[in-house]
Structure 1
Amino acid sequence: MAWTWTLETAAGDVIRRSEDFESRGDAESWIGEAFGDLVTDGVDQARLFEGENEIYGPMSLHADE
């Protein structure tokens, strides 16, 4: 199954989904590298999915939370 992020506003409104990743590690590496750009684009939080199953979230992308 593919791993993806749902990228959201602080209110939980979905902005978009990430690309598909082959592993959880790849997905987590991507968000670690991209979070600065995501925040600049208005993303406040993210949820990690394996297929349609939510693994965890919401995870804030802001350092103060």
Structure 2
Amino acid sequence: MIFYNGDLWGPMREETNSWFSRIYSARYAACTAEEGHRNLVLTMAMDLSSKTGKELELPIDVNDLMKGL
């Protein structure tokens, strides 16, 4: 996350604002915790693959993923 003059900027700004808005207004979440975790792990795997230039076999163990990042 990037903060500039006290405001959140960067790629996670919209996601963070959407999440906070749903909590604040007591609306249902856009996805379940399991779906959110799966998508986070997939995104992190894409980052690792980009970093290493190698294909990763999915699903990937979260501990192995964290070691690579």
Q: Normalising to structure 2: TM-score of the pair?
A: 0.30
More helix by share: 2
Q: Which has the larger radius of gyration?
A: 2
More strand by share: 1
Q: Normalising to structure 1: TM-score of the pair?
A: 0.31
**Greater relative contact order (Cα 8 A, min sep 6): structure 1 or 2?**
1
